Amino acid sequence: MKKNLLLVAFAATSLLATSCSGSKSSDSTKNTTETQSVSVMDVDKVLASAPSFVDKEIILDGVCTHICKHGGRKIFLMGSDDTKIIRIEGAEVGKFDQKCVNSIVKVKGYLREQRIDEAYLQRWEEQVKASEAEAHGESAAGCSTEKKARGEQGNSVEARIADFRSRIAASREKSGTEYLSFYHVDAISYDIQQ
């Protein structure tokens, strides 16, 4: 009889241990699934699907090719080649570390859209006329890295504005869209990977 009681107690303990470990296993799987659902994207994927990520929190990584010399509050991450570049604004992180340059940087933040339309260009022209335009970049022509990220042509403000007007006209003719969309990330945090 004692052997039977011991056997029943052992079986009950084994069953209880198995059921507890089974519960832990499912919790562990749940956490892994949640972690995997917030995956790190590369610059190419973000730019290719940008409209679907606007105003959403994303995590992306890429090689930092440039840090803004005017305060270090902007960096640029490159994707698979130098035609795929996205601007990262310091937003909540403030100034970026100089060690970012030529390193892989992982950024968590919100993807934002900037639309350039005729009204935007007219305001820009008025600012230039009133000499209120913010100087940014190496010259009045603007930051060469940002211009490259936006596919801009022109070495003066006037040429840049004319280029935007030409591109807006092409967009209007092709798809009926009266503006150009450019995307950047407002950073919440970042981490230098290499």
SS3 185: strand
Estimate to the nearest angstrom the gap between the alpha carbon of 64 and the chain centroid: 12
SS3 of 35-103: HHHCCCEEHHHHHHCHHHHECCEEEEEEEEEEECCCCCCEEEEECCCCCCEEEEECCCCCCCCHHHECC
What one-letter code names the amino acid at 51? P
Q: Are 96 and 75 in contact (CB under 8 A)?
A: yes
Would you say residue 67 has pLDDT above 70?
Answer: yes
Q: What is the pLDDT of residues 6-15, one digit of tens each?
A: 333 333 333 3
Q: Which CATH number is 41-192 given?
A: 2.40.50.140
Instruction: Please state, rounded to an integer, the average pLDDT across all residues of the chain.
Output: 79
* Pairing assessment for the beta strands 85-89 and 104-116 based on DSSP bridges: unpaired
The answer to whether the beta carbons of residues 171 and 177 sit under 8 Å apart is yes
Cα→Cα distances 51→64, 97, 107, 112, 175, Å: 23, 29, 19, 9, 16
Q: What is the mean pLDDT of residues 17-36?
A: 33
DSSP state of 133: P
What is the three-class DSSP state of 186?
A: strand
Dist. CA 192–CA 176, nearest whole Å: 41
Measured between alpha carbons, how far is 41 from 53 in angstroms, rounded to an integer?
11
Digit-coded pLDDT (tens) for 122-172: 999 998 888 754 555 544 556 777 877 787 777 788 888 999 999 999 999
- Terminal CA-to-CA distance of the chain, rounded, Å? 67
Residue 73 has pLDDT above 90, yes or no: yes
Residue 53 CA to residue 49 CA, distance in Å, equals 7
- Helical axes 118-129 vs 157-175, angle rounded to 10°: 170
What is the pLDDT averaged over residues 29-48?
A: 65
pTM here? 0.71
Least confident of 9-13, 48-52, 81-85, 162-166: 9-13
Residue at token pair 């950047």: 184
Residue ranges of domains in the chain: 41-192
